[in-house]
Amino acid sequence: MMEAAVIGQGVSESRSTARSAVLAIGVGGLVAAALDLLQACVLFGHEIILVIAEGLVGDRGAQGGVFYYGLGVVLHVFIALCFAAFYYAVSRKLTFMTEYPLVCGLCYGAGVQLVMMLIVLPHCAFHQRDPIPVNGMLEGLAIHMVVVGLPIAYAVSRFAKNA
């Protein structure tokens, strides 16, 4: 009888951990995606969504239309959720990431910007032809530190601290 209670308790704990992980990744990733897409649309116009689609399908994405706008949004959200999942996974081993979300979130947002600029964009179908100006890189770092890093770090800290 005692074993059944312990086994049942373990299942309950694993469900709670899984629920916390999904909530942390979902909230952090979706908030980061929404804020990042909003700031990108404000700075560059709504056509930036088509540029995201171009990253996967090439010049066809520039045609516009509901499909390519939807594809751009889905890709953007997928990438943000991947970054949130990565932060969550690393925070399971490096517990200070949930204890200090402000500092870790700002650093993580800078890391996200660097990964996007130095790895993702050069290897996608939308090849950036011009070098990125230094002020553009610094602006991107500052923006992603706030709108991507902080929401992800605070969501993981809030929803998955003890998961």
* Winning range, highest mean pLDDT, from 19-23, 46-50, 56-60, 102-106: 102-106
Residue 13 binned pLDDT confidence (cut-offs 50, 70, 90): low
**Which uninterrupted H or E stretch holds 106?**
helix 101-115
pTM tops 0.95, yes or no: no
Distances 145 to 29, 104, 136 between C-alpha atoms, Å: 14, 10, 14
What is the share, in percent, of the chain residues with pLDDT greater than 70? Answer: 86
**Distance from C-alpha of 77 to C-alpha of 57, rounded to nearest angstrom:** 17
Residues 6+ positions from 156 with CB-CB distance below 8 Å: 24, 25, 28, 84, 87, 88, 91, 97, 98, 101
Report the pLDDT value the prediction gives residue 4, as an integer from 0 to 100: 47
Residues 6+ positions from 46 with CB-CB distance below 8 Å: none
**Distance from C-alpha of 81 to C-alpha of 84, rounded to nearest angstrom:** 5
**Distance from C-alpha of 89 to C-alpha of 87, rounded to nearest angstrom:** 6
pLDDT digit string, tens, across residues 98-119: 999 999 999 999 999 999 888 8
Which tokens sit at 21? 């992980």
Indicate the angle between helix axes 48-57 and 2-44, nearest 10 degrees: 110
